Chains A and B, each alone.
Chain A
Amino acid sequence: MNKMEYRIDAKIIKQICLFLMLHNIKNFDLSFHSNKRNVIFIIKSPLFSKDLLDRMNEKLSRERETAIEVYGWELLGDTDSQNELDILGALIDEITISHEEKMSIVTLKRHYKYEQ
């Protein structure tokens, strides 16, 4: 795996955590699953509001833009604002939102592009 991909993955984790904490989500699970082709982040929490899930869906379902990724990925995880998911949206290929009992599950998928 390219080291650059790991650095970006780590930044994405930081960004997700900070975003959730700034939205007062104090109880969540974040799991990380990486293979040769892609990475999946799964976020589970009983505290997601519909409004927050809609906003995440809107921001993270935008088209992947590698130009923005290459230019601005270093800014990931460096925010004090509650609504800055724009850069993360440019790094994510797919988002799915599902519900299990009282738990909401957000799954983010990112295809690896950098070669070894």
Chain B
Amino acid sequence: MDLINFIKRRMLIPIVFVVIFSLAFIVDTPKNIFAGYIRILQSPSVLISDYLRIGGLGATLFNVATIIFFNTLILSKLKFKMTGPIFAGVLTIAGFSFFGKNLFNTLPIYLGIYLYSKTQRIDFKSFIIVVLFSTGISPLVSFMIFGTDWPLYFGLPAGILAGVFVGFVLPAFSAHTIRFHRGYNLYNIGFALGVLSMLFAVVLHSFNVKLDVGGPTSEAYHTELVFMSLGLSLIFLVAAFIYDPQVIKKYPKLLKSSGRLVSDFISDYGKAVSIFNVAMMGFVSVGMLLILGLKINGPVMGGILTVMGFGAFGKHPRNAIPVMFGAWLGVVLTNYSLDSVGMVIALLFVTAVSPIAGRYGPFIGMIAGFIHILITPLAYAFQGGFDLYNNGFAAGFVAALMIPLLEAISQNKKLEVQNE
């Protein structure tokens, strides 16, 4: 009974861990998993590094499971109840553990945030949202250690110090950047990390360090990953009905939310409705990929899990589908192509600007999605690939461009109505 309550309190995250951990040892042998995991830990991990290709499916799933376990342990030690941002944070970390995050390259960043909390004399718990999303820049640590020609005695402390530095400045910086896009970019920390990544990229570039541009992806496990993502969505769907058999009747209220930061769906609408929405976002993501005939690789799987996670923190089908459709139009109407992995994952991560559709309607949402897809490749070139949340970086610019104009127009409309 205690176990069931624990699983309920943690919004099924323990089940996600058990499923992924078990799958790792079903699909591969312990020896292969260990060898692949070492390759993952030693990878520079810069965008886009598909751990499925680097370490294989078993090792990648093992990496995802260790990251979920470690972060859940932190949450339990700090006695956190599961809220929307925390749930989104855990699934986002899990997702990005398919292509860039591992235990080794995330820890220095956590340490930096911890040191910041000590210097500010603020409880470390208060920074939990920043902590969970901070590791988007973890490739910076790996790259400095394993991606340069530097000797280990120099690269290791340089990488760790860079991670600690980013963690130290991030809480204050991300609180500041949220004003830039006024809460309409759900990946706010991705935007903040993009700016910091840009700083490191130019510094390294000025010292003639060749920036690694990642590598090819692996589509070899498409079928397994389709079943895994659909299976996880199904688990969340069934659990939603177990939590509350009347969940469907309560769901439309959530769909009316704009999703603008900081929307905690679990606090606002309850666990059952939030979990139901998480499942819906999973089905929408996988459905879109299958309809378009796109293959799931590590980064795409990361995108699916992230979109599902944000089903408790701002995204729902009503505000996500228009921006996805706009992004797809952006690809088919321009010289961009879905042959590029960057474009495929952008079809998922474009949902960072979902609140624009939620607040201003589907047509404006489509425009936001269209602009987002055009900006994403440029944002990547700008930030150098250390920020795994490249779409969060791009989305910050999209929102910052559109929101002042949209607010001015909507204010004029209100004034006209009042004058009438």
User: Which residues does A use to contact B, with CB under 8 Å?
Assistant: 62-63, 65-75, 78, 80-81, 84, 86-87, 90, 113-115
Contact = CB atoms under 8 A, between A and B. Distances in A.
A69 B126 CA distance: 8
B101 interface: no
9 contacts: A67-B83, A68-B83, A71-B130, A72-B175, A72-B178, A74-B179, A80-B407, A113-B123, A114-B121
Query: Chain B: interface secondary structure?
Result: helix
Contacts of A86: 262-264, 268
Nearest to A68: B262
Nearest to A83: B258
Contacts of B260: 84
Contacts of B174: 71
Given A74-B175, A80-B410, A67 B126 contact: yes
A70 B124 CA distance: 11
Interface in B157-193: 171, 174-176, 178-179, 182-183
A71 B129 CA distance: 7
B407 A72 contact: no
Contacts of A114: 120-122
Nearest to A116: B121
B264 A68 contact: yes
B128 interface: yes
B358 to A, nearest CB: 11
A28 to B, nearest CB: 19
Interface majority SS (helix, strand, loop, mixed), chain A: helix
Contacts of A65: 83, 264, 267
Interface in B77-113: 83, 85-86
Given A68-B85, A74-B175, A74-B176, A81 B126 contact: no
B179 A75 contact: yes
Contacts of B175: 70-74
B262 A71 contact: yes
Contacts of A84: 260
Nearest to B178: A74
A67 B183 CA distance: 16
Nearest to A58: B268
A15 B183 CA distance: 15
Nearest to A62: B267
A32 to B, nearest CB: 23
Nearest to A87: B262
Given A78-B179, A114-B122, A72 B83 contact: no
B125 A66 contact: yes
Given A72-B262, A90-B262, A67 B125 contact: yes
B121 A115 contact: yes
Contacts of B261: 72, 75
Listed from nearest, the 4 A-B pairs whose CB atoms lie closest are: A72-B262, A66-B126, A115-B121, A71-B129
A114 B83 CA distance: 22
Contacts of A75: 178-179, 182-183, 261-262
A101 B214 CA distance: 70
A71 B113 CA distance: 13
A113 B410 CA distance: 38
Nearest to B258: A81
A27 to B, nearest CB: 18
A28 B407 CA distance: 26
Contacts of B267: 62-63, 65
A81 B85 CA distance: 22
Nearest to B117: A70
Given A68-B264, A73-B175, A74-B178, 5 more contacts: A75-B183, A75-B261, A75-B262, A78-B183, A114-B121
Which one of A80, A113, A114 has the greatest number of beta carbons of chain B within 10 Å? A80
Contacts of A72: 175, 178, 183, 261-262
B406 to A, nearest CB: 9
Nearest to A70: B126
B122 A70 contact: yes
B129 A68 contact: yes
B76 interface: no
Which residue among A66, A71, A90 has the maximum number of chain B CB atoms within 10 Å of its CB? A71
Interface string B112-143: 00000000111101111110000000000000
B223 interface: no
A19 to B, nearest CB: 15
Contacts of A68: 83, 85, 129, 262, 264
B268 A67 contact: no
Interface in B393-410: 407, 410
B359 interface: yes
B22 interface: no
A48 B236 CA distance: 42
